[in-house]
Structure 1
């Protein structure tokens, strides 16, 4: 690539009937000045482009790192969710098993209590029947007892007879 210095140092052969030297020199001076500015801008843009390319490469590296981190985080998240679902399923299964065990235990207890209640009801009925029989027997015995007045008379009669016998024994002696 031609540099501004190359343009400045360029010399042309002189020929008869050639271009006006002052005009050519003036034009070349402007050309050197503009080309120098453009050349510097181009160099500056190349530097900026190199810096930006480095930044792009850096960002690409960061992007790849972030992509890897996101993929890793997604996998970890998926695994955590899967484990949580498994644990939840296990908890539900265990709760169902425990609930069924409790229901079975309660059913057994209810059946035992029902048998016990039936047995108590049977005993209660038997005891009531026996008590009725005993009470009926007592009522019958009460009904067979003489009335109190008769009983008192009999007791007095027996006492009187005993007194007479004692008196007789005493008098006989």
Structure 2
């Protein structure tokens, strides 16, 4: 059992012959009591400080555990947010890629359709142009035949006979000559028409317009003038 200052103060010693000086012993005990009292108070203060330190240490340990737990929770939340963000980014990227592919496919299909339609129109225009050229060649040949026939008629001796100076020719004679010339012209024109029709058939033209052959006679030319 630890002595208290009061125990030291109340301690009594027996006396013997040639023993210690009682007053000196008492003075020393008083000094010991004071020093012991100081030591006890300091010890009490140290115990109090130690208790407070232990409380603080326990508080900081609890705080450390709480902070560590908070850090773990924050780390888990950050990892979760990171994973979710990564998944959302991947989904967004796939959707954007799909939209881009759809846009490219739509544009490609539309451009292909436009090119096909343009190609069809070009082919149709080429066919129509070719048909027009064929019809133009046929018309030119028929016109050439007609003009050459009329030119031959104009250069013929029968025509000179009609207009030469001499005895008066009867109306019946003129009508007979004109009839013979008309037959010759019609024969030449029909020959030219047949030749042009045969060429048109050989070239595969099926929509030629019917062209009328016009023969100009001297009387018509005179009336026109």
Provide the TM-score with structure 1 as the length reference.
0.76
- The residue number in structure 2 matching 1:27 is 28
Larger RCO (CA within 8 A; separation ≥ 6): 2
Alpha-carbon distance in 2 for matches of 1:53, 1:152: 142
1:107-146 paired onto structure 2 within 5 Å: 107-137=108-138
Q: CA deviation at 1:40?
A: 0.4
Count of residue correspondences: 158
Alpha-carbon distance in 2 for matches of 1:50, 1:44: 10
* Residues 133, 8 of structure 1: alpha-carbon distance in 2 compared, 3 angstrom cutoff: same
Q: CA deviation at 1:84?
A: 0.5
Q: CA deviation at 1:125?
A: 0.8
- The residue number in structure 1 matching 2:14 is 13
- Structure 2 gaps of 5+ residues are 155-215
Q: CA deviation at 1:99?
A: 2.1
Alpha-carbon distance in 1 for matches of 2:58, 2:102: 65
Provide the TM-score with structure 2 as the length reference.
0.60
* Residues 34, 104 of structure 1: alpha-carbon distance in 2 compared, 3 angstrom cutoff: same
Q: Which structure is higher in helix share?
A: 1
- Structure 1 gaps of 5+ residues are 161-173
* 1:84-133 CA distance string (max 9 Å, x none): 01111111122222222222222222222221121111012112222333
Q: Which stretch has the larger CA shift, 71-80 or 91-100?
A: 91-100
Q: Could you say what secondary structure the match of 1:6 adopts?
A: helix
* Residues 109, 159 of structure 1: alpha-carbon distance in 2 compared, 3 angstrom cutoff: closer
Alpha-carbon distance in 2 for matches of 1:14, 1:133: 165
1:4–1:39 Cα contact (<8 Å) kept: no
Q: CA deviation at 1:136?
A: 4.2
Alpha-carbon distance in 2 for matches of 1:124, 1:13: 149
- The residue number in structure 2 matching 1:36 is 37
- The residue number in structure 1 matching 2:78 is 77
Alpha-carbon distance in 2 for matches of 1:95, 1:135: 58
* Residues 54, 155 of structure 1: alpha-carbon distance in 2 compared, 3 angstrom cutoff: same
**Aligned-pair Cα RMSD in Å:** 2.8
Alpha-carbon distance in 2 for matches of 1:10, 1:138: 161
Matched, 1:99 2:164: no
* Residues 16, 135 of structure 1: alpha-carbon distance in 2 compared, 3 angstrom cutoff: farther
